[in-house]
Amino acid sequence: MWRITSEGNGRQDFGSLRLEFQFPCAIAPASTFELMERGQPSKTALRVAMRRAAHQLLDRPPVLDDPVAVRLLGPEFIVDRERESHPVARAFRAFMAARSRWVEDRLASAVSAGATQYVILGAGLDTFAWRNPHPSLRVFEVDHPATQEWKMQLLEQAGLPPPANLRFVPLDFERRALAEGLAESGLEGTVAFFGWLGVVPYLTPEAFRSTLAAIASRPCGAQVAFDYALSPESFSPLRRMFFNALAARVARAGEPFRLFFAPEQLEEELRRAGFRSVEHIGSEGLNGLYFHGREDGLELPSPGLGRMALASV
């Protein structure tokens, strides 16, 4: 049965102004939660999956149409509509949906240009492989072995067998290199597209650079699309208070923020790694693509805490 666990609230004081941020509760099956504690898969992956599922149930039309999201979490998944109506919860849902939609749109363009392989780094509970509209596209999900074991349990419980064109790549980055794990899983030397969502802000600079180097060194070219966190030094006092509350919450969950960039700093990193072209998009651009004219008012706050990037070799 489902167990509801609080993710915690954040409170910050600024002069005479006090802001209290209430984050939605995490809802998880007790057996799955215990597995997560034993095997240490990503708790962030569960929160992201819950927000994607809530987006399917609450926001019409959905920015990301994902009929698998709710099913994967099981019939006991519950959405607290009052909490999910909070502006912070709506902003999180909007960003989770928009970033996945933007990456999948970039992927579709890459497939049209000849890409035949899609590598999802830090896949978590991503559902693209079960919604894949490209018959010739092979999908590789890369994640920590414990997270993949947990996902396979959820898939089995939901009656969702892995598609024939999906390969799971269990990889502990502390023990094996990305290129080695992908080669052993059958990734070919043809053009590949990499999706890397919800991972970069948690990495060390060394891990970020080594992953970029592995992608940029592919013999037939590659693209990588990912989200990144902006440097908090650039935030207004109000945005900085919200960021501090969010950072404290993820740190308590054992997955602290580590890596931040200004757009020009990120571009320098990418070009140094061997990428020839870089595209950035922030809240205003994503709102124009996916939220313009919505009757429910769902949109990304601008400026936001993060941005998207697409880098091509």
Mean per-residue pLDDT, 157-180: 91
pLDDT of residue 248: 81
Q: Which architecture does CATH list for 2-312?
A: 3-Layer(aba) Sandwich (3.40)
pLDDT of residue 31: 39
- Pairing, β 117-121 against β 138-143: parallel
227 to each of 197, 241, 251, 262, how far by Cα in Å? 6, 21, 19, 12
Task: Convert the pLDDT of each residue in 101-139 to its tens digit.
Answer: 999 999 999 999 999 999 999 999 999 999 999 999 999
Q: Which residue has the higher pLDDT, 242 or 179?
A: 179
pLDDT class of 69 with cuts at 50, 70, 90: very high
pLDDT of residue 174: 66
Please tell me the pTM assigned to this model: 0.85
Whole-angstrom distance, CA of residue 121 vs CA of residue 251: 21
Mean per-residue pLDDT, 306-313: 94
pLDDT of residue 124: 95
CA angle 169, 172, 173 (to 5 degrees): 105
Q: Which residue has the higher pLDDT, 19 or 191?
A: 191
Classify the C-alpha dihedral 292-297-300-303 as positive or negative. positive
Q: Which residue has the higher pLDDT, 148 or 25?
A: 148
pLDDT class of 223 with cuts at 50, 70, 90: very high
Query: What's the chain's average pLDDT?
Result: 85
pLDDT of residue 1: 29
pLDDT of residue 241: 78
How much of the chain, in percent, has pLDDT values that exceed 90?
Answer: 64
pLDDT of residue 29: 37
Whole-angstrom distance, CA of residue 181 vs CA of residue 224: 18
Q: Which residue has the higher pLDDT, 98 or 11?
A: 98
Looking at the predicted structure, is the pLDDT value of residue 17 above 70? no
